[in-house]
Amino acid sequence: MQSELDILCRRQEALIALIFSEQSMLENKEEDQMSKGLKIYQNNLLMTAVRALSLKYPVIDKMIGREALSGLTRKLLHIELPASGDWADWGEQLSSLIMTTELYDQHPYLAEIASFEWFLHETARGVGTELNVNSLARLSEQNLKSVFIQLSKTLKVLSFHYPVDEIWMLHQLDENQIDTNELAVLLKEPIELHRIVIYQREAVPCVERLTEQEQAWLIDVLAGLSLDQLLEKYVTFDLSGWLSVAIEEQWLEGLR
């Protein structure tokens, strides 16, 4: 036998299920008070979710328009339920959702742009790094097998087929200022990988391009290779030059 608490739980679940239901109340012409009320909750949910996505994905919003974003939002609400109480945490799966839609067939770059925007959003909210200056003294140790480079937790090393950083920058301009020829070039069939690092510097997200070697180095650092292993693998790597960039750009937490 169900307890009264269970029954209350079920009734609250039932209301949520009606609000999240894909069957729109908008089609119901003979509306009673309950239907009108439910429609308001459904609209509120959609509008709030669309707004939450548009804040995280401003370039996607600009490229596909609000109507298409609303359509994606409806689908995303069923794939990724909001669950933390903070809309800022919701929407990570937009990129993978786009890959399952017709939109992706016509505009394959959208999934990568969405992925890039999500990383920017996450980086913007992450806790940045303070360099442990004293830890740099470990560089002078004889045995570098037990010395490891500690990178900022906001730093992410990524590869994209499309130049998503340039596409994103172009869309920071007003719509009438965007050079459509330049955009067309950026969106054409990709021929090479674009390697980038996203990180937080002075509390704001930053993006830098990486060479193939720089990217491989960072991936190995993140994988936990010791300084000794790194220097053995990257014989010609300019460690001191890289360290000064890493400190300047706030990639580095220190050495451990």
Partner 1 sequence: MSCLNTAHTRGETLSSMVGVGLRHPHYKEALLGSSSIDFVEVHAENFFAEGGIVPAILDDIAQQYPISLHSTSMGLGSAVGINRDYLQRLKRLSQKVTPILISDHACFTWSNLNGNAVHAGDLLPLEFSQQNLQVMTENVDKVQQVLGRKILVENLSSYVEFRFSNMSETEFLTELVNRTGCGLLVDLNNLIVNAHNFSDESSLQTASQWLQQLPTGAVGEIHLAGYTPVAENELIIDDHSQPVSDECWSLYRTALKQFGAVTTLIEWDNNLPSWPVLLDQATKARSIMSGITIMKNVPMSEEGFLNAI
Q: Which whole-number Å values give the CA distances from 80 to 5, 66, 174, in the listed order?
A: 27, 20, 32
Place of tokens 């054409």: 188
Query: Considering beta carbons, is residue 45 or 147 the nearer one to partner 1?
Result: 45
CB-count burial class (<10 Å; 0-12, 13-18, 19+) for 138: middle
Measured at the CA of 146, the angle between CA 140 and CA 147, to 5 degrees, comes to 50
1 binds partner 1 (CB under 8 A): no
From 100, 99, 118, 119, select the one nearest 109 (Cα to Cα): 99
65 binds partner 1 (CB under 8 A): no
Query: Considering beta carbons, is residue 58 or 82 the nearer one to partner 1?
Result: 82
Beta strand pairing call for 252-255 and 204-209: unpaired
Query: Considering beta carbons, is residue 163 or 205 the nearer one to partner 1?
Result: 205
CB of 8 to partner 1, least distance (A): 4
Query: Considering beta carbons, is residue 8 or 245 the nearer one to partner 1?
Result: 8
130 binds partner 1 (CB under 8 A): no
**Contact with partner 1 (CB under 8 A) among 23, 27, 83, 134:** 83
Binding residues for partner 1, rule: CB under 8 A, are: 4-5, 7-9, 11-13, 15-17, 19-20, 33-34, 36-38, 40-41, 44-45, 48-49, 81-88, 124-128, 154, 200, 203-205
